[in-house]
Structures are given as structure tokens and as C-alpha cells.
Amino acid sequence: MIKRILLFIILILPFSFSKANIVVLNGLSHTYKVENGRVYKGKISIENTGNQTQDVKLFLQDFTYQADGSINYTIPKTNPKTNAEWIQLNTNLISLKPKEKTDVFYEIKIPSQTNDAGSYWSVIIVEPVENIKASNEKQGINITSIVRYAIQIITDVDSEKAKPNLKFEGIKIEKEQEKRILKIAIANEGNLYCKPTASIEIYNKKNGQKIETLSSLPMGLLPQTSKSFHIDITKMPPDQYNAVIIATDEDENAFALNVELEVKND
């Protein structure tokens, strides 16, 4: 009986949904080439595009991601290559009036000694402060959808002594909205952040002539993480091909893999 009453109450309550209108204006990835013992400064530019005053909190977290789409946010010092302890924000809470912009500043104090050369990273979370509260206008509750931003702070220590090491983890073709997408999972097993592009050179299996070269968009790849790079191969006729898949970073370091590619007739 109690369950039925609770269900009935839930069904008759009117719900309304709102969304905080906070925008980060200067990018979601800040990268620094740093030296031990030095101090570096940066800022996060934030705007309230809404019509109501909005409180925003900022805090640091560690994070990693994998090619299957999973993203893990954890408390600082969870990741052995975290730089969260090096970063100091000038504030953890701001209040923005409608249409107001502001800058939150941070300092990165690099230790006099670090254990290893390579990339250290964390994220600054920018999150609107919202509460589920009773509506003053009508019976019911107001449910707020919160969109938060994660700004990567990447510090490359002695980058000339470090390097990325890209590895192909998997290749598959999937149909998405009438398009045929080649998905290439690439991991960075090195110790330096890079921004690779995946490309595929497709060859006629019978005569060896090159038919097409197609590329993905470049994406950042932190050490010990992986991402899925997508290439649209919709215009390739169903057939079997020889192919070379190449991952190239911004320094023109290239990693290649020979594959047989079968494009099926869906």
C-alpha cells in the first residue's frame, strides 16, 4: 500500500528542468613545457550566459580515459603522474551575474626535482552550484541539469627526454547514421602527451594500386590512456582491401600497421 501511495505522489508531481548557462571561453586543455623549480601562471575564462546569477565552484581531480569511452575522475594523488599538488587556484568559488565574464587564475609550482621526465596532468573541474529545491510557482520540484567542464592542465617536464609510444589496440567497422565508420583504438604507452592523427591508405588487393587515403581528426592522448579514432569510409565500395593504418603525432613520429580490410555490403 505504501509503495502504491509513493508511486502515485511521484506521478502527480509536476517537474520542471533547467540548465546552468556557464561557458569556459579559453579552451579545455592547457599545456605547458616546464622546468623543475619554475612557476607558471594561467587562467580559466568563464562566462555566465544566462539571465540569473550563478555560483560556480572549482576544484582539482585526477582523470584517465580509455578507447571504450570510459572516463575516470578520481581524487588528486590517485594517478602517479598527477600534477594536482603543483596547482594552486586563486579561488574555489565565484558568483557571476547574468552575462558577466571573469577570469580564475592559477599557479603551477614545479618541484625542484621530479621522479621522471614526461607529462604530468590533472583537471580543474568547473561546476555550477545548483540545488534541487521546491518550486515557488507551483506544486512540485525543480530538477536542474548540471553541465560541468574539465579543463586539462598538462605539464611536460624535460620533454626532450620523453616520447610518446603509440600502439594499435583494435580496429573495427561500425554503421552510424547511414555512415560506415572505421574505429581505430590507439593507446599511448609512452610517457609524453601527444596529439596524433590516424590515417588509412587503402590498396586494391589484386593489383596493389593505392585507391584512397583517409584521415581522422587529431586528438590529444595522454600517457597510459587510449582513444578511438574515427575515419569515415562510407564511399568505399564493399570489397576486400589491403591497407596500412598510420598514427602520426604533431612531431611527425609515425607508427604503422598493415591490415586486411573487409568492407561488407550492409
Whether 98 and 196 map to the same domain: the answer is no
Across 53-82, average pLDDT: 96
In a domain, residue 4? The reply is: no
Q: CA–CA separation, 46 vs 147, rounded Å?
A: 13
Q: Which residues pair with 101 in a beta bridge?
A: 47
Whether 200 and 237 map to the same domain: the answer is yes
In a domain, residue 89? The reply is: yes
Task: Give this prediction's pTM.
Answer: 0.85
User: Where a domain ends, among 140, 160, 180?
Assistant: 160
Q: In what order do the strands lie in the sheet with 141-145?
A: 15-19, 141-145, 133-134
Note the pLDDT tens digit of each residue in 136-181. Answer: 555 555 555 678 999 999 999 999 999 999 999 999 999 998 899 9
In a domain, residue 1? The reply is: no
Strands 197-204 and 179-188: unpaired
pLDDT band at 4 (very low <50, low <70, confident <90, very high): very low
Residues 139-150 as b or e (16 or more Cβ within 10 Å = b): eeebeeeeeebb
- The residue segments making up the domain with residue 199 are 166-263
Across 202-227, average pLDDT: 96
Q: CA–CA separation, 83 vs 248, rounded Å?
A: 27
Whether 247 and 137 map to the same domain: the answer is no
Mean pLDDT over the full length of the chain: 89
Note the pLDDT tens digit of each residue in 116-135. Answer: 999 999 999 999 997 555 55
Q: CA–CA separation, 219 vs 25, rounded Å?
A: 20
Whether 155 and 183 map to the same domain: the answer is no
- Between the alpha carbon of residue 188 and those of residues 97, 155, 216, 221, 222, the distances in Å are 42, 16, 17, 6, 7
DSSP per-residue letters across 228-262: EEEEE-TTSPSEEEEEEEEEE-TT--EEEEEEEEE
Whether 38 and 79 map to the same domain: the answer is yes
